[in-house]
Amino acid sequence: MLLAADVGNTNVVFALFTYGDDGTHTIRARWRIATDPRRTGDEYAVWLLQLLKIEGVERDEITQIIVASVVPRADHNLTVLCQKYFGITPLFAGQGAARWRFEIDVDQPSSLGADRALNILAAHHKYGGDLIVVDFGTATKFEAVDFTGAYKGGSIAPGINLSLDALVGKTAKLPRIAIRAPASRSVIGRNTEDQMLIGVFWGYVAMMEGMVARMKTEIGRPAKVVATGGLAILFDDATEIFDHVDADLTLDGLAILARQAETV
């Protein structure tokens, strides 16, 4: 089995993969924990080994581990977890045998985050053709991927929760609200909370629809739009721009990259 860890700015997602005889992968289980660079390898182990036991998986059934991290301070403790408790030196996405095998056609290829690269890899592998990948995370990322799988560039916007935090944190009287789809499609609110929700939610929809439209014009060829990240499903009901909503895109990218690493 493959154990994969996707280390984001907000959460770390662990996923357990099995492989079929035809080489296809299946997610058997997944677990989420808040990102904390101070969490030691031993602390990870106490939590993770209990979850594996609940799933009925023995440590020695895991034969490969791959990590994607955008939080460098967490990398050492995750390496300790893998080596001390599984006897495995983990692969790190974008490094060594797990290097990227697609063209990164931007000014600073080394600045491309592992999470973004994995989405690019998985989207090309699963959907093909020209693509726009939209990832709703702490930041919202827009990626342009051509039909060869090459990364051609993109953009980064504040995530919707980050935007809301800034709005509430910098104003004295506006209340904290939960992100959800408004009850109607009206953009004229009748009270403060509704007006905030409309501004944040429909304003965000307008931003992403405008960005996707501009990207399609610039690409100049038909491009499929793939959405991923925790809030992708929320926005799917509010817009027609998504061709695919794929919550597991980043994790699938880790499994694909791990298989590629085996061929080195």
How does 218-247 read in b/e, with b if 16+ C-beta sit within 10 Å? Answer: ebeeebbbbbbbbbbebbeebeebbebbbe
236 marked as part of a ligand binding site: no
6 marked as part of a ligand binding site: yes
Which of 115, 146, 246, 252 is flagged as catalytic?
A: 115
As to burial, measured by CB atoms within 10 angstroms (0-12 exposed, 13-18 middle, 19+ buried), residue 162 is: middle
Contact 98, 255 (CB under 8 A): no
9 marked as part of a ligand binding site: yes
8 marked as part of a ligand binding site: yes
Contact 183, 197 (CB under 8 A): no
11 marked as part of a ligand binding site: yes
243 marked as part of a ligand binding site: no
Is 75 annotated in the active site? no
Is the Cα torsion angle 27, 247, 178, 191 positive or negative in sign?
negative
In Å, what is the CA distance from 232 to each residue of 71, 79, 188, 245? 23, 31, 24, 7
Token pair belonging to 252: 């699938």
138 marked as part of a ligand binding site: yes
Contact 257, 248 (CB under 8 A): no
70 marked as part of a ligand binding site: no
101 marked as part of a ligand binding site: no
Q: Is 84 helix (H, G, I), strand (E, B) or coil?
A: helix
26 marked as part of a ligand binding site: no
12 marked as part of a ligand binding site: yes
Other residues' Cβ atoms within 10 Å of the Cβ of residue 67:
25
CA–CA separation, 24 and 3 (whole Å): 15
114 marked as part of a ligand binding site: yes
Helical pair 160-169 and 192-219, crossing angle rounded to 10 deg: 140
7 marked as part of a ligand binding site: yes
Which of the residues are catalytic? 115
Binding residues: 6-13, 113-116, 135, 138, 192
Binding residues for substrate: 113-116, 192
